Structure 1
Amino acid sequence: MAGVEVHADRDVCIGAGLCVLTAGAVFDQDDDGIVVVLDEHPADVVAARDAVANCPSGALSLTEE
C-alpha cells in the first residue's frame, strides 16, 4: 500500500474529535479541541484514510506519496 502525507486545516476544524478516536497515533487535539497532526507520514494508512473520510468539517486531507 502506498504511503500518504496527512494534512489538517486547523481553521476549518470544529473539534469533533473523530480523527483522534479513529487514528489516535496520527491525530490529537490541543487545549481548544482543535486538531493537531502527530504523524504526517503514518504507518497505519488505513486508519488515516478513515479519519480523513469521517471528518465532519472536512479539515483533514491526505496526499499520496
Structure 2
Amino acid sequence: MKITIDQVKCVGAGHCVMHAVDVFDQRDEDGIVVLLDEAPPQELAEDIRRAAAVCPAMAIHIEE
C-alpha cells in the first residue's frame, strides 16, 4: 500500500488523524494533513482506508 496526499485539497478537518494517528498528522499552523509514513505496515491498512473514506476533501489517495 502506498499513500499520497493532496495538501491543496485538504481542509484540515483532522478525520484522518483520528483514524490513523501513526500515519497522518496535521501542521500546527493551519491543520493541513502531513503524511508520516507513505508506505505503512499492512496491519494499519484498515485504519488508513477508513481515514481516506471519511476525508471530506478526498485528499488521501491509496495505491494498493
Q: What's the TM-score once normalised by structure 2's chain length?
A: 0.91
Matched residue count? 61
2:12 maps to: 15
Shift of 1:13: 0.1
2:46 maps to: 46
Query: Between Structure 1 and Structure 2, which shows a larger proportion of helix residues?
Result: 2
Q: Which runs of 5+ in 1 are unaligned?
A: none
Q: What's the TM-score once normalised by structure 1's chain length?
A: 0.90
1:42 alignment partner AA: P
Shift of 1:41: 1.1
Shift of 1:42: 1.4
Instruction: Please provide the CA RMSD for this pair.
Output: 0.6
Q: Which runs of 5+ in 2 are unaligned?
A: none
